[in-house]
Amino acid sequence: MEELIARVTNRTGLDAATAQTAIGHILAFLQKEGPATEVSQLLGALPGSETAIADSNAGEGGGGLMGMLGGMMGGGGVMALGQKLMSAGVPMGQMQPLGQELFAYGREKAGEDVMGPIVGSIPGLNQFV
């Protein structure tokens, strides 16, 4: 997980704690919204991912306005994830580089045969990766 956090901080300029929280939020989102088999394979290929998910969920609060809007648009999805990332201190302009770095790392560790179905199964996710 340290290597991924370092890559995200280098790419986005986020501090390590914010990067780790953001990674945890994204992985938790994938766990909830993505295909179970492929997400399990991804998490298995990323040591520390379960801890990052648990840590990000521990600090979770309400969804705010963006969460409400996302809920009205079909259960949250990518909009709700965006709200969580903003609440964690990730500026809007850093969400795409964050997603790109995380998914590039996932492709390196788990392979395209794992990452492709994850991206393809979640509406709107492809714009961030």
Is residue 89 a contact partner of residue 14, using CB atoms and an 8 Å limit? yes
Which among 104, 102, 99 has a CA at the least distance from the CA of 124? 99
In a domain, 22, yes or no: yes
pLDDT at 124 over 60: yes
Domain span holding position 102: 2-61+92-128
Please report how many Cα atoms fall inside a 13 Å half-sphere around the Cα of residue 120, on the Cβ side: 7
Q: Is residue 31 part of a domain?
A: yes
More confident residue, 78 or 63: 78
Q: Has residue 76 been placed in a domain? A: no
- What's the pLDDT tens digit per position in 83-97? 999 999 999 999 999
Residue 78 belongs to a domain? no
The per-residue pLDDT for 59 is 65
Q: Is residue 119 part of a domain?
A: yes
Residue 28 domain flag:
yes
65-79 residue pLDDT tens: 444 444 444 447 898
Average pLDDT for residues 84-113, to the nearest whole number? Answer: 96
pLDDT tens sequence across 24-45? 999 999 999 999 999 999 999 9
Q: Give the model's pLDDT for residue 42.
A: 97
> Has residue 68 been placed in a domain?
no
Does residue 59 or residue 122 have the better pLDDT? 122
The token duo for 103 is 């998914």
Question: Assign residue 34 a region: left if phi > 0, alpha if psi is -120 to 50, beta otherwise?
Answer: beta
Mean pLDDT computed over every residue of the chain: 88
Q: What is the pLDDT averaged over residues 46-52?
A: 95
Work out how many domains the chain is built from and give that number.
1
SS3 annotation, 14-43: CCHHHHHHHHHHHHHHHHHHCCHHHHHHHH
86 lies in a domain? no
* Residue of 28, 7, 31 whose CA lies nearest to 105: 7
What band does 128 get if pLDDT is binned at 50, 70 and 90?
Answer: confident
Q: Select the more confidently predicted residue: 88 or 62.
A: 88
